[in-house]
Amino acid sequence: MSGNITFTIIKPTAVSQGYIGPILNKIHQGGFRISAMRMLWLTRGEAEHFYEVHKERPFYTDLVDFMTSGPIVVAILNKENAVEDYRKLIGATDPEKAEEGTIRKEFAKSMQENAVHGSDSDENANIESSFFFSGLQRF
């Protein structure tokens, strides 16, 4: 059965370009409820840990550099079928391949600076949410 939470990051370029509000608006219009949210600046160690699955990929160092280049916004989003529905709302990893109206199509700069992260499974949604938020920070 699919779960009812997913985890998102508004990535550094989207934050610095002033897209926090417009992206949260898309999330609201998509029918998601925000149950936890905060702004923070990742340390290198935290970014390396978060993207550990990509450690052997050629873009890993660039990705960690990028994700530690400025503040981000992290949030837990609630909705039935949250993981799949949010992946649809954000669009393809490569913004050139993302459908019209998706968050990445509208706000991404490039494959790497692609505006947002969205969990790819219920298991990862839980792991990622717990990495950033304690039980007391979730509503």
Interface contacts to ligand GDP, rule CB under 6 A: 59, 62-63, 93, 111-112, 114, 117, 120
Residue 49 designated active-site: no
Supply 137's token pair. 């920070």
Interatomic CA distance for residues 9 and 73, integer angstroms: 6
Tokens 């985890």, residue? 7
* Nearest distance in Å: CB 12, ligand GDP: 11
Supply 93's token pair. 């990893």
Nearer to ligand GDP, 28 or 57 (CB): 57
* Nearest distance in Å: CB 36, ligand GDP: 20
* Nearest distance in Å: CB 16, ligand GDP: 15
Residue 5 · residue 76 · CB < 8 Å? yes
Q: Which residues are catalytic?
A: 117
